[in-house]
Amino acid sequence: MSKVKVVARVLEDDHLECRIDVDGGKKLLLTGLTTDVDPAVEGSGVLKKNRALLDNAWALAKFTYLKVNLASPEEQENAAKRAKAHQEEAEWIAELAAAPGAVSQRGWCSSCFEKATHNKVERPTGQTPAYLCQKCGAPTLPCADPRCDNMAVRERGRVRIPRFCAEHRHDIPSFKNTDLTIEGLEDYEECFKYEQPNLSRNAKIGGSLLAGLAVVGTAGVAAAPAIGGALGTLIGGYSGAAATSYGLALLGGGSLAAGGLGMAGGTVVVAAVGAALGGAVGASVTNAYVREDKSFRIEMLKSGSGVPVVVCNGFLSEGSSGWGEWRELISSRYPDSPVYKLHWGAKELKDLGILGGYASVKVAAPAAVKAAAMSATKQGAKKLLPAGPALLFADLVRNPWHVAKSRADKTGVVLADLLARTKTSRFVLVGHSLGARVMVIAAESLGTKEDGPKLEAVHLTGAAIGANSDWESLVAGVDDAVYNYFSSNDKVLKYLYQAAMGGQRAAGQVGFSPCPAKLINIDVSSQVDRHSDYYTKIKLR
C-alpha cells in the first residue's frame, strides 16, 4: 500500500490548511477559516470525491487549532487527542482511496445507513479486504454473517474479531425502517423491534462497541464543524467562532474508524441538526441510548382527546411508576389531554441522591455545599472551594452531577427523535429540575426540524440549566410559549448547581436571559421555598 502523509497547520488570521500527500503523486489541499463549515479543496479527483477523507482532514485542521487555543490545559489535551485520531483516520482512508480496485458490490452501509455501491480496494495478498462506500466514503467490508448482503464498518488495522453490519449489531432495528413512523408515543417500543439477531452479542463484542457509539457513522463526521457550532450554541450559549470551538471540544470519544462522535456529546451534536431526527442517524442514536440506559421508558398515565402532555422528573424523583407528584399540577391545566411520563437515568439520578437530602434542609453557608460535594465524589473535598468553582474540568466526567447532566442532554435528544416519529402534530412538554433540562434539549432539537411536530407549550419548573444563552432556538418550534417558573429560594440551584457549574446560575433560580417574545419567566419565589415545592405550590399558565 502507498505511504500517506497528512499534516494540518494554523496560518495567520485564523486560516487553516491540511495537506495530504500519497506516494505516486496524489495530493489534496484543504484551506479555509476556523469558522468555515466546508473548506476549499484542490487536488486529486480520487481523493477529492471521498467525503469521509475530506471530513476527517478538515476536523484534523479544526482540532489542530483548538489544541492551542482552548482555555484550559485539559481542553487542549482533549483536542490534541482528537486531532491525532482524525489524522490517523484521514491517513487510513487516503491510503485506501488511492488504490481503487475493479471489484464492487451493493449493500446497505453501516456508516451512512444508505444503500450504496462499495468498491473493493487493492490490498496486498493475505490482508483482510477493504471496501469504500461510494456515498459516504467510509471504509467497509461484507458483514461476517455469510447470509447477509449488507456492509459492516471496516476499522483500521487487522480485523481481529468478526465485523457485523448495523442490523446484526442491533445498532438499528433495520436498514429499511430507520425512518419508521408510529401512531402515538405509547407505541414507542415499535422503534426497538429488531429484524435480525444480535450476532455481535454472540461474538461478545456488542457491549464494548456500544460504549463508543460507533453507530453514528463516518457520515456524521461530515457535519463535524457545523454541528460543533450547533452544539456550542445549544449547550454552551456561545456564538460564531466561539460556538464552533466549544462545540468541537465537546465532541465525544466514539470509534473514529466508524466516524463516531461518542455518547458524551455526539447524541446532542447529531440531533442538533434537525434532519437527524426521525431518520437513520436519529434511529442509531436512540437505539444506542436505550441500550445504555436500561431505565428508559415512556409510561402512559391517562388517555384523552386533547394535546398530549409529556412530563419528566429530575433528580428528586424515585423513578416509580404512576403519577407521583404530577397528578394535580397536570390535571388542573390539561384535564382532557393524554399524559405520558418519561422515565430515564435511574442510575445517574440515584447517584445524585445526596441532593434529595440536601434539598430538604435550609442551607445558610457554602460549607454545606462542600459537604454535599464530598458525598457526591471522593475528590469533592479537594476540588471544591467555598466560594469558587466546584469542580475542575478533569473531574467532570467522574462527578455524579455532570454525569447526570450529560444523561439529561442525551435523553432530551432521544425524546425529540421519538416525538418526530409520531403522527401526532402537537405536544406539551413539562419538566422539573434536570427533567426540565431534558425538555429544553428536546424543544431545541425539535426546533431545528422543519417538518417535525410543533410544541403547543413548554413548562419548566426549577430548571437545572444555565440561565444565560441565545434562547431563540428554544422557542423556535413552540406555538404558545415556554413558561419558566423560577424561585430565588431554591437552594439546590442556588448553592449546589452554581458550585457544580463553576458559578453559573440556573434558569430555575433567576430566570432565563435574554428572553425572546415566547419565553416567559414567572417568579414564584413567594410560593416556592424548596426545590420540590413546585409540584404542589404553583399552577401552570
- Here the CATH number for the domain that contains residue 324 is 3.40.50
Pair 138, 112: CB distance under 8 Å: yes
Tens of pLDDT, residue by residue, the chain (541 residues): 679 999 999 999 889 999 999 998 899 999 998 877 678 999 999 999 998 888 788 888 888 988 888 777 887 887 788 788 889 889 999 999 999 989 999 999 988 888 999 999 988 877 889 999 998 888 999 999 999 999 998 888 777 788 999 999 988 899 998 888 999 999 999 998 999 999 986 544 333 222 222 223 333 333 344 444 444 443 344 444 444 444 444 443 333 322 333 333 334 444 444 556 787 767 877 887 788 888 999 999 999 999 999 999 986 555 578 999 999 999 999 999 999 999 998 777 776 654 444 433 333 333 433 343 333 333 322 322 222 222 222 233 356 777 788 788 888 888 998 999 999 999 999 999 999 999 998 998 888 788 889 999 999 999 999 999 889 889 989 999 999 999 999 988 988 888 777 788 999 999 999 999 999 999 999 999 999 899 999 999 9
Are 182 and 306 within one domain?
A: no
- The half-sphere exposure of 451 on its side-chain side, counting CA atoms within 13 A, is 8
Helix spans in 334-397 (H):
346-351, 353-359, 366-376, 380-383
Pair 444, 234: CB distance under 8 Å: yes
Pair 165, 152: CB distance under 8 Å: yes
3-class SS string, 27-52: EEEEEEECCCCCCEEEECHHHHCCHH
Which grid cell is 74?
Answer: 485539559
- Measured CA to CA, the distance from residue 470 to residue 478 in angstroms comes to 15
In a domain, 220, yes or no: yes
- Residue 125: Cβ-neighbour burial (10 angstroms; 0-12, 13-18, 19+): exposed
Q: How far is CA 471 from CA 13, 54, 311, 477, in A?
A: 30, 33, 21, 12
Residue showing cell 393524554: 338
Q: What is the predicted pLDDT for the residue at 6? A: 96
In a domain, 518, yes or no: yes
The type of residue at 53 is: L
- Measured CA to CA, the distance from residue 25 to residue 15 in angstroms comes to 25
Please name which of 28, 22, 59 lies closest in space to residue 45, comparing C-alpha atoms: 28
Q: What is the predicted pLDDT for the residue at 257? A: 29
- Measured CA to CA, the distance from residue 17 to residue 30 in angstroms comes to 5
Which grid cell is 45?
Answer: 479527483
- Measured CA to CA, the distance from residue 326 to residue 312 in angstroms comes to 9
Say what the pTM is. Answer: 0.77
Q: How far is CA 436 from CA 225, 324, 442, in A?
A: 28, 16, 10
Residue showing cell 431505565: 295
Are 307 and 432 within one domain?
A: yes
Task: Report the phi/psi class of residue 258: left, alpha or beta, with left for phi > 0 and alpha for psi in -120 to 50.
Answer: alpha
Are 310 and 322 within one domain?
A: yes
Are 247 and 204 within one domain?
A: yes
Contacts of 332 (CB under 8 A, 6+ apart): 539, 540
- Measured CA to CA, the distance from residue 267 to residue 278 in angstroms comes to 13
Residue showing cell 470551538: 245
Q: What is the predicted pLDDT for the residue at 51? A: 85
Query: Which of 225, 248, 278 delimits the end of a domain?
Result: 278
Please name which of 322, 298, 241 lies closest in space to residue 418, comparing C-alpha atoms: 298
For 75, other C-beta atoms within 10 Å of its C-beta total 19
- Measured CA to CA, the distance from residue 382 to residue 315 in angstroms comes to 24
Please name which of 394, 357, 355 lies closest in space to residue 373, comparing C-alpha atoms: 355
Pair 281, 216: CB distance under 8 Å: yes
Are 8 and 59 within one domain?
A: yes
- Measured CA to CA, the distance from residue 142 to residue 269 in angstroms comes to 29
Are 312 and 437 within one domain?
A: yes
Are 307 and 440 within one domain?
A: yes
For 127, other C-beta atoms within 10 Å of its C-beta total 11
In a domain, 323, yes or no: yes
Are 85 and 142 within one domain?
A: no
Q: What is the predicted pLDDT for the residue at 79? A: 79
Are 89 and 104 within one domain?
A: no
In a domain, 386, yes or no: no
Length of the chain: 541
| Angle between helical axes of 51-69 and 73-97 (0-180°, round to 10) | 160
Pair 237, 513: CB distance under 8 Å: no
In a domain, 289, yes or no: no
Are 11 and 159 within one domain?
A: no
The type of residue at 237 is: G
Q: What is the predicted pLDDT for the residue at 317? A: 52
Q: What is the predicted pLDDT for the residue at 338? A: 98
The whole domain housing 42 covers 1-98
Pair 257, 207: CB distance under 8 Å: no
- Measured CA to CA, the distance from residue 375 to residue 377 in angstroms comes to 6
Give the sign of the dihedral formed by CA 540, CA 236, CA 357, CA 407.
positive
Q: What is the predicted pLDDT for the residue at 319? A: 57
Are 326 and 471 within one domain?
A: yes
Mapping DSSP to helix (H, G, I), strand (E, B) and coil, where does residue 499 land?
Answer: helix
Query: Which of 219, 244, 278 delimits the end of a domain?
Result: 278
Residue showing cell 481481529: 160
Backbone angles phi, psi at 125, to 5 degrees: -55, 135
Cis peptide before 124 (omega within 30 of 0): no
- Measured CA to CA, the distance from residue 65 to residue 369 in angstroms comes to 37
Are 336 and 447 within one domain?
A: yes
In a domain, 362, yes or no: no
Number of domains, the chain: 3
In a domain, 355, yes or no: no
Which grid cell is 190?
Answer: 415499535
- Measured CA to CA, the distance from residue 150 to residue 367 in angstroms comes to 59
In a domain, 156, yes or no: yes
Mapping DSSP to helix (H, G, I), strand (E, B) and coil, where does residue 347 land?
Answer: helix
